Amino acid sequence: MRYLPLTSSDRAEMLAAIGAPSIDALFADVPEPARLQGPLDLPRAMGEIEVERAISSMAARNVAAGSVPFFIGAGVYRHHIPAAVDHLIQRGEFLTSYTPYQPEIAQGTLQYLFEFQTQVALLTGMEVANASLYDGATACVEAVMMAGRITGRRKAVLSGQLHPHYREVCETYARFVGFAVDAQHPIPGGEDLAALVDRDTSCVVVQNPDFFGEVRDYSELAQRCHEAGTLLVIVVTEILSLGAIRAPGEMGADIVAAEGQSLGNALNFGGPHVGLFATRDKFVRQMPGRLVGQTTDAAGRRGWVLTLSTREQHIRREKATSNICTNSGLCSLAFTIHLALLGETGLKRLACLNHAAAVKLAERIEAVPGVRLVNRAFFNEFAVRLPRPASEVVDRLAERGILAGVPASRFYPSRNELADLLLVAATELTTDADIDRLEGGLREMLS
């Protein structure tokens, strides 16, 4: 078989060279529950036509986001992606290009990354942005580690309203990198994070809009953090919100970590995404990933270079600030094209459309007996309390072709006080007919 080029003797020779008794021994570090105990329950062999039919049958069991009323958010959002985005990123020079190691032959890649950085800095109200990270969660933990390098402190205070996936990524890194995480309990409402700051605290991490959709002004918290020598990290999971609310930089954020999926990047079954990262110019030497800069060549013509690339491939491993920056590619290009097509006026108008859709949705479902809106202020996502467990309501509505939102219990199964909490999102793609379906379904379900 051309896909299995090694013979049994080849494999035995390789195992002997590394001192492993068997191929199975190579997987000793994989926990036993995660290992397959036998072959998958699949046919041993099928023809191409049979495989296509089988896979198509399996795929037909999925409910596509655009085929039914869709109110799911919780960190990933369904927006309209202009056709020009996909058309342009599939051009050969973009689709097949890779890391710009040789700037003299990668000017196109470097130029759009420079434009991407400029857009992110303007959106976030910060002075400098990098050429992207994997996603919002990795951008968040990179911000925490950067704060530790800057302050020399080893503890991060995480808001209870931070997305649980982001918190879990921070906790995972903390175990191996060696910093402490003080994560607060996830309860919708205010919290006095400044009171938790001590001389070991490197940063306070908040999210705006937060996981439950609440929009806040963190200017006072930023001031109190700075008085204590602590950095404020603001996380944004719905980047489109910055077309309507105050930018993190205007609130005094020292580092902004964000998820850019909403612009140019469709849901795609959960990925890939694009992590945004911006900071103050004085911290640029500690910023992870790549930084593309503008220069001139010997003839005075404008050109682009990798001004900073503080990763282990470019400098000594122990001096690297990060070893991730592979995402400076198609996802960031899609983001850049979409935002360029919108322009400043289009971005603000799109943000207003999202907010208006969410306000209309909130008014309609809050009128359903037993439903209570939790938020005081929100952008395009909010939380409601239901008179019964939210997961039950969501499952029953899904059977009727309505994807009603995300139960908080999906993220916090052991927190009984959140069992009745439902996260509901609306975007420019939410129609009046969709809202009618959800309102009618809730009335019938909760009557």
The pLDDT, as a whole number, for residue 308 is 85
Average pLDDT value for the chain: 93
Planar angle of CA 273, 276, 282, nearest 5 degrees: 160
Indicate if the pLDDT at residue 289 is higher than 60: yes
Best mean pLDDT range from 42-56, 99-113, 236-250: 236-250
Mean pLDDT of 253-262: 98
Task: Map residue 8 onto helix, strand or coil.
Answer: helix
Mean pLDDT of 211-227: 97
The pLDDT, as a whole number, for residue 321 is 81
The pLDDT, as a whole number, for residue 271 is 87
| pLDDT single digits (tens) 142-187 | 999 999 999 999 999 999 999 999 999 999 999 999 999 999 988 8
Indicate if the pLDDT at residue 73 is higher than 70: yes
The pLDDT, as a whole number, for residue 97 is 79
Domains observed in the chain:
8-50 (no CATH), 65-80+343-446 (3.90.1150.10), 83-339 (3.40.640.10)
Dist CA 57 CA 75 (whole Å): 29
Task: Map residue 243 onto helix, strand or coil.
Answer: helix
Dist CA 40 CA 31 (whole Å): 18
Backbone angles phi, psi at 238, to 5 degrees: -115, 90
Dist CA 193 CA 288 (whole Å): 26
Could you say which DSSP state residue 184 is in? P
Query: In 3D, which of 446, 412, 425 has the Cα closest to residue 162?
Result: 412
Which tokens hold the place of 101? Answer: 């190691």
| pLDDT single digits (tens) 202-212 | 999 999 999 99
Which amino acid is it at 218? Y
Task: Map residue 103 onto helix, strand or coil.
Answer: helix
The pLDDT, as a whole number, for residue 327 is 66
258 touches 136 (CB < 8 A): yes
| pLDDT single digits (tens) 104-130 | 788 999 999 999 999 999 999 999 999
The pLDDT, as a whole number, for residue 190 is 77
- Rounded to 10 degrees, what is the CA torsion of 139, 145, 149, 151? 100
The pLDDT, as a whole number, for residue 314 is 62
Dist CA 350 CA 353 (whole Å): 5
| pLDDT single digits (tens) 293-348 | 999 988 999 999 988 876 655 656 677 788 776 667 899 999 999 999 999 999 99
pLDDT more than 90, % of the chain:
80
pLDDT more than 70, % of the chain:
96
Among 11-15, 304-308, 384-388, 415-419, where is mean pLDDT lowest? 304-308
Mean pLDDT of 15-19: 95
Indicate if the pLDDT at residue 189 is higher than 90: no
The pLDDT, as a whole number, for residue 357 is 98
The pLDDT, as a whole number, for residue 5 is 79
Nearby residues of 353 by Cβ (< 8 Å), 6 or more positions away: 428
C-alpha distance from residue 438 to each of 72, 212, 385, 420 (Å): 12, 19, 15, 17
